[in-house]
Amino acid sequence: MTLPRYNQWTPVDAPAANQVTCLTNSPGAVYPLGTNALPDSLKKMSDASSYYVSGYISALPVQHGFTAIGEAVVARIEGVTTKNDNYLFATNSAGQLFVNGPHKGFGHHVVPGQTVEVNSLFHQNPVAKKYGV
C-alpha cells in the first residue's frame, strides 16, 4: 500500500478545519462529528448517516511535507448495508488542513445484525498501517 500522493489531498475549509483540529487535539479518543463540522468534500455524500473523528497520539510524517494528525470515519447507508469509509487528515508545511480518502478496510461493509465497534473502524489507511498506529 502506497502513501497518498500530493495531488490526492483535498484542502479543508476553515470552519471545518477549526472543528476537526479542536477534536484531534485529544489524541486516541473517538468523537462524533456533526455535519456542520464536516469538510465540504465530505458533506456532499447524500447517503452518509454518522461521522466520527480521532486524533493521532503523535503526528506522522507523510510525503510532500504533509503531517498526518488524525482520521475520520464516515458511515453511509446503501440499501440494508452500512459502508464505513476512513479518511485521513493531515496538515501541510503552512499549517493548512487537508483530507485524503476514502480508504476501506475492516468493517467497510456491515450487514444488519452485525455489530462493529466504532473504534475498530479507524487506522484503515496506508499511513496508519505504515506506522502501526
Distance CA 102, CA 121 (A): 12
Give the number of domains in the chain. 1
Confidence of residue 112 (pLDDT cuts 50, 70, 90): confident
The amino acid present at 27, given as its one-letter code, is P
Q: Look at residue 1 and tell me if it is in a domain.
A: no
Q: Look at residue 34 and tell me if it is in a domain.
A: yes
Q: Is residue 3 pLDDT above 60, yes or no?
A: no
Q: Look at residue 114 and tell me if it is in a domain.
A: yes
Q: Look at residue 103 and tell me if it is in a domain.
A: yes
Q: Look at residue 88 and tell me if it is in a domain.
A: yes
Distance of CA 23 to the CA centre of its chain: 12
Residue 40 has φ and ψ, to the nearest 5°, of -50, -40
Average of per-residue pLDDT across 78-98? 89
Confidence of residue 90 (pLDDT cuts 50, 70, 90): very high
Q: What range defines the domain where residue 14 resides?
A: 6-131
